[in-house]
């Protein structure tokens, strides 16, 4: 848990105290609740109208069709030219091995 010191105007402080008392919680609990409510409101998901969703889906499908597919030879060229990087810390050697095996199996099957 983090600690934060905030300077508040007296009127705001008194309003927060009254609101916390009316809810039957501590001032700290009320402020955490109010901040959480404010922050989460920025992450709401709005439903798109069906026509907008259908247009987006159609555009996406058109894009996929226009992209086409790479041949095995093209994939090999790109893979050979890529810059090797260190894996992220969260990737265990087991996960990396499974991914490498999966890629190898895909190459063999194509």
Residues 107 and 72: beta-carbon distance below 8 Å: yes
pLDDT tens for the chain, 110 residues long, are 889 899 999 999 999 999 999 999 999 999 999 999 888 887 777 788 999 999 999 999 999 888 878 888 888 898 899 988 887 877 888 888 888 888 888 777 76
For the whole model, what pTM was predicted?
A: 0.41
Among 78, 73, 69, CA closest to 107: 73
Q: What is the DSSP string of 10-70?
A: HHHHHHHHHHHHHHTS-HHHHHHHHHHHHHHHTT--PPPPHHHHHHHHHHHHHHHHHH---
């Amino acid at each position: 848990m983090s600690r934060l010191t905030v300077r508040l105007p007296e009127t705001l402080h008194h309003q927060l105290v009254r609101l916390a008392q009316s809810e039957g919680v501590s001032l700290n609990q009320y402020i955490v609740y109010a901040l959480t409510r404010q922050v989460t409101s920025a992450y709401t998901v709005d439903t798109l109208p069906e026509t907008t969703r259908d247009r987006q889906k159609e555009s996406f499908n058109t894009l996929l069709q226009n992209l086409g597919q790479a041949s095995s030879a093209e994939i090999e060229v790109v893979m050979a030219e890529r810059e090797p990087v260190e894996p992220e810390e969260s990737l265990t050697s087991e996960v990396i091995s499974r991914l490498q095996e999966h890629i190898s199996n895909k190459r063999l099957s194509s």
